[in-house]
Structure 1
Amino acid sequence: MKKLAILSTMLTLSVALAVAPKDTLVVQESADIPTMDPGVTYDTASGSITENLYETLVTYSGASLTKLDPLLATKWTISNGGKTYTFDLRKNVKFHSGNTMTCADAEYSFERNLVVNSGDSGNWFIAESLLGTGANAKDDKTITWARIDKAVECNNAGQLVFTLPKVDPAFLAKLAYTGQSVVDSKYAIGLGEWSGKEADWQANVGKDLQNSKLSQAPSGTGAYKFVRKDANAFLATAFDGYWGKKPAIKNVIIQKVPELAARQQAFLRGDADLIEGAGRAVDEEQIKGKPGVVWQDGFPSTTATGFFMNQNIKANGLLGSGKLDGKGIPANFFSDVNVRRAFSYAFNYQQYITDVQKGQGKQRTMLLPDTFPGYDAKVKTYKYDATQAKAYLQRAWGGQVWKNGFTLTANYRAGAVASQTAMEILKKNIEALNPKFKVNIQSKPWSEMLNDSRDGKEAMIIIGWAPDYADADNFLYTFYSSNGYYSPRSNWKDASVDKWLEQARSTVNQAERNRLYSLVANRAYEQAPYILMPAPVGYAFMRDNLVGAAKANFNPMISFAYTGTFWKELSKK
């Protein structure tokens, strides 16, 4: 069979797969690819594609979360008290279209992100750095074209210059995020995207780029270029004009295979090199130790997850009677710290680690990965303690909670077994304290739960955060600041915490930032705005002929988390 026929068969999934060729990486997963436009990439499925088709100015050095290496930039200088960044750009870099990358492309890319900055993209955090606000011009009328144009410019020497309104210690890390990749401006404009000029900038503010023309036909500088995509699969091939080292793997195929059993069978036959698993319990039983499989364990987790206890619930449908009469809860039920502390003591952390994580879990002191600078291991943690839970609920709402009881309705993501189990653990332990306590749990589609929680309509949910950039600010400001991305989901506010987080954003002194983050963590322990879920111990598995996916090279900031590295670093033997 000709190779072209093999690729076509794999792409359409119309017949049985052949063993993956040596020059082809085959990946199977359940998710689709929402977008291939960097300007709106804000999920791992999209990120794992865009980070290989496009490139950023800087990238993480090997497995490090703190060291950054030049990529499309060759070097940079910081001046003006930490508010001006000047980048020299790599010469003779080609886009997949054949156009040569210039400083104008980089300027266009960042200005486009600032102009569009839709709610479904990660551009809010680059806007915070360059404009002083995470909003776009529709939501913040003080944002003008002049402000955007001044924030990022090309000087007469062809260097890219960023001018920040104030110091941002996380700015360089933000530039490594795949959403800040350099796009082909001439090509994009030719497709009908924003012109890059003032004349039509307002018409593009907040524009939905998910299915943009650039998403449908991307052109980056990455080692791989897009070939085609349909409902079932994606195909890319090595870019002959790539400025860097030529990749060993010529073709990359990402197949959408919703059925777990089908993915497992393809992987064990060697038809797929990598697949999306089903969690440690299933993967250890079905995959680990099988012929042709390499299993790697002990990876650090860079996500943080918690129970959100919403202190201002806006959905009447979840409140029952809306009163503390045993038949419901008031909208501000969780505003009493005694309730939050009681729920924190009622969750059995060790049971979750044993039952869900098969003993491979770790309780954290704060909603921050313990590998990140700023993590304080000395902060106290809650342990399962029914006596303490009972005592705090007896105090809650002046004794009315214990006397009258309550009925709480909480949603969890449909199909998320771990979240369901966590909810069941908490439900059982709360209800065991008092026969008047009732916790109803129910599944809900992920998209609906995301939207409703964003609007403050969920009473209590479990949700996590994966980092956009490797800096504590991305987690702590997100979870704990009243101006953070997750604030509408919890509606918790503490003036001291807000002050400390703003101070940490305005200094590059890491010791001072660590001190401030410890203050935040200790205050959060006292106020218990979240129940902190134990962090899993990461693992990965792959076919034994895949080279370059070693644990030592794994960087969790890379979206292609099956290997923690870019496709160009992989080969097959």
Structure 2
Amino acid sequence: MKPSRVTLLTALLLGSVAFAASPKDTLVIQEASDTPTLDPTANYDTGSSNVIENIYETLWTYKGSSLRDMEPVLATAMPSFTNGGKTLVVNLRKGVKFHSGNTFSCADAEYTFERNLVTNSAESGNWFLAESLLGSSANANDDKTLTFAKIDKAVECNNQGQLVFTLPKADPAFLAKLAFSGQSILDKQWAIKQGEWDGTEKTWKDWVGKDVQGSNLSKNPSGTGAYMLVSRDANAILLKAFPDYWGKQPAIKNVILQKVPELAARQQAFLRGDADMIEAGSRANIEEQLKGKPGVVVVDNLPNTSATGIFMNENIKNGSALGSGKLDGNGIPANFFSDANLRRAFAYSFNYAQYIKDVQQGKGKQRTMLLPDTFPGYDAKVNTYSYDPAKAKAYFQKAWGGQVWKNGFVLNANYRAGSVAAQTAMEILKKNVEALNPKFKVNIQQKQWSELLNDSKSGKEPMIIIGWAPDYADPDNFMYTFYSSNGYYYPRSNWKDAAVDKWLEQARTTTNAATRNKLYSQVGKRAYEQAPYLLVPAGVGLYAVRDNLVGATADTYNPMLGSSTLFTGTLWKDLSKK
């Protein structure tokens, strides 16, 4: 019997045999690392999202390249809230098959969200779902008020087969949250058959907070998406088009994801045509190694939906990082950054234009807030800091009643090991601060990422540079994270402002867009005045693809798709090859 194309491709993968110019019906993608999970419930990284969003489907997704407009997928229409924004009734698509052959129904959707709420942990993207549906980001192990009855009531199927969400209070970000690939709809019958939670109250306690990253569902996924898993090993994933897909059959019939750690090897495969898309590295890598080469198209000037700041911790919980622990020229006190004049001095000491030139090859933008400028709520009119040594000196002289300028200080700051951008930012700041006063000393050194994350979360890092990529396209995901004293990043900054907290809580419960925008603008203006963060300029996105790939353009690019951080921001089903 003549082997099928899929069998041939599998053999090529397992035998690590390269083939010149990937076939017209086959998409070859090379990444630097593996895919952590294929279980949507555990998904909280872009590598996993890249695959999951093509195997599974959500109730709705972002329309085209928009971050504001949604279109239905497994829902038949975009629903509207009732009951003061606390009830959402969703009509579901009929005649949809899972890869297992099971028929999609409301029971699958109900099971999906209940499983996400039951297993919820900080390591998954379900904390913000729990926040909306249960009023708490915790799970039942950490919050004893959470019962199965409460989870069951939050999401139910009515007698008409509609999915009904019941929220404790209005959440204007809820629709966007459900577009996250981690909220993709599971095949209930298939999941239970694989040994996953059976969906009953009798067993739910056994699954509370359980890590399902390596679940049986991750090994054997069954979604409604355009592609289904064929095989997977440590170095490659092979998928094929699902023949019973409810939508239009894709032109790309086979997708191969290969793990190729070496950047040079990925670049060579790409230039030969062996790979259609690769994890191509930084802007400098793409411009120097790929741009202008035969068969290569570089798509540039793409929106950046991450935000990065330099944190100035106002309550440093690490004695060894403080030196003398006093303002005596040999260290700093734990509350060193609690003086707004000091924070302003550092903000005026950073050369934003130099960072854009050195790190972003001139392709960068200084933002007014720690919020992507493409998101609702962004106010371009909020003032920004600029590099101004005279103003920096004046604020240093005001800080701590003149003691900072008189006595000097020693500040120990760490950055992520291997991050050229973070290192450069810290070097720029160090040079400019130390140039103002010979008594100022900023010591910078690299630190392993996991260690830096843990220490900063514990409030032990005096100053770090760290960013945030969105879980959902709503300003709350950034503004609350950075600026609220209840936000995810608060332990790293320990900055608290009562007015800001009040505005952010109000923005979380109002569905009026104009009101929300005004509240976020107020937060931005207050943050400028108080300077809790030094805002690092945002780079401009770009990617490279082979010139025979159709459908990967700036017009189709959506930065909220999981693949956007590495590739085209486009689902595979919307691509073809000429």
Length-normalised TM-score, structure 1: 0.97
Question: How many equivalent residue pairs?
Answer: 573
2:26 aligned partner: 24
Which residue matches 1:449?
452
Partner of 2:576: 571
Deviations 1:250-301 (A, max 9, x none): 1111111111111111111111111112211221111111100111111111
The Cα offsets for residues 95-146 of structure 1, whole Å up to 9 and x where unpaired, read as 1111111111100100111111111011111111111121111222211111
Residue 486 of structure 2 aligns to a residue whose secondary structure is coil
- Separation of aligned partners in 2, 1:213 and 1:330: 51
CA drift of 1:84 comes to 0.6
Q: Structure 2 matches for 1:122-161, cutoff 5 A?
A: 122-161=125-164
Kindly state the Cα deviation for residue 29 of structure 1 after the two structures are TM-superposed.
1.6
Provide the secondary structure at the position in 1 that maps to 2:257.
strand
Q: Distance in 2 between matches of 1:207 and 1:482?
A: 28
Which of 429, 432, 456 is 1:429 aligned to?
432
Q: 1:8 Cα deviation (Å)?
A: 3.2
Distance 1:37 1:419 in 2: 32
Q: CA deviation at 1:488?
A: 1.6
Letter in 2 for 1:221: T
Which residue among 284, 288, 305 is the counterpart of 2:287?
A: 284
Equivalent residue number for residue 532 of structure 1: 535
The gaps in structure 2 that reach 5 residues or longer are: none
Q: CA RMSD in A?
A: 1.5
* Equivalent runs, 1:4-403 vs 2, <5 Å: 4=6, 6-8=8-10, 10-12=12-14, 14-75=16-77, 76-403=79-406
Partner of 1:553 in structure 2?
A: 556
| Structure 1 residue 216, shift from structure 2 partner | 1.8
Q: 1:337 to 1:272 in 2, by over 3 A?
A: same
- Structure-2 change in CA distance of 1:451 and 1:253 (3 Å): farther
1:9–1:17 Cα contact (<8 Å) kept: no
Look up the match of 1:487. 490
Query: Out of 469, 473, 479, which is 1:470 matched to?
Result: 473
Answer yes or no: is the 8 Å Cα contact 2:375–2:473 preserved in 1.
Answer: yes
Distance 1:10 1:446, change over 3 A: farther
Task: Kindly indicate whether the alpha-carbon contact (under 8 Å) linking 2:10 and 2:238 is maintained by their aligned counterparts in 1.
Answer: no
1:517 is aligned to 2:520: yes
1:238/1:339 CA distance change after superposition, 3 Å: same
CA distance in 1, matches of 2:254, 2:455: 40
Q: 2:423 aligns with which of 414, 420, 438?
A: 420
How many Å separate the matches in 2 of 1:509 and 1:440? 47
For residues 319 and 116 of structure 2, the distance between their equivalents in structure 1, rounded to whole angstroms, comes to 37
CA distance in structure 1 between the partners assigned to 2:513 and 2:225 by the alignment: 33
> Quick one: distance in 2 between partners of 1:221 and 1:445?
39
* Percent of aligned pairs sharing the same letter: 70
Following superposition, the deviation at residue 60 of structure 1 comes to 0.8
Identify the range of structure 1 (63-72 vs 4-13) with the bigger mean alpha-carbon deviation: 4-13
- Native 8 Å contact 2:18 2:274 kept in 1: no
- 8 Å CA contact 2:416, 2:446 repeated in 1: yes
For residue 5 of structure 1, report the CA deviation from its aligned partner: 6.4
The one-letter amino acid paired with 1:63 is S
Could you tell me whether the CA contact under 8 Å between 2:364 and 2:540 is conserved in 1? yes
3-state SS of 2:301 partner: strand
CA offsets, 1:440-462, max 9 Å, x none? Answer: 21222222222222222222111
* Further displaced range: 372-381 or 315-324: 315-324
Q: Which amino acid aligns with 1:196?
A: G
Distance in 2, matches of 1:15 and 1:420, equals 39
1:408 maps to amino acid: L
Contact 1:307–1:530 at 8 Å: present in 2 too? yes
Displacement of 1:325 after TM fit? Answer: 2.7
Structure 2 SS opposite 1:371: coil
Structure 1: runs of 5 or more not aligned: none
Aligned-partner SS, 2:320: helix
Answer yes or no: is the 8 Å Cα contact 1:137–1:205 preserved in 2.
yes
Q: Distance in 1 between matches of 2:178 and 2:530?
A: 34
Q: Does the 8 A contact of 2:396 with 2:405 survive in 1?
A: yes
CA 1:238–1:406 in structure 2 vs 1: closer, same or farther (change >3 Å)?
same
The CA deviation at 1:378 is 0.7
Rounded to whole Å, the distance in 1 between the matches of 2:258 and 2:68 is: 33
Q: Which amino acid aligns with 2:38?
A: M
Displacement of 1:9? 5.4
Q: Normalising to structure 2: TM-score of the pair?
A: 0.96
Contact 1:249 1:571 in 2 (8 A): yes
Q: Which amino acid aligns with 2:514?
A: A
Q: Is the 8 A contact 1:6 1:18 kept in 2?
A: no
Q: Give, in angstroms, the shift of residue 327 of structure 1.
A: 2.6
Distance in 2 of aligned mates of 1:350 and 1:316: 35
Distance 1:567 1:512 in 2: 38
Question: Which amino acid is the alignment partner of residue 126 of structure 1?
Answer: L
Alignment check: 8 A CA contact 2:312 2:533 kept:
yes
Query: Do the aligned residues in 2 keep the contact of 1:347 with 1:425 (CA within 8 Å)?
Result: yes
Amino acid paired to 1:569: D
Return the alpha-carbon distance in structure 2 between the equivalents of residues 560 and 479 of structure 1.
25
Residue 383 of structure 1, CA deviation = 0.2
Amino acid at match of 1:25: L
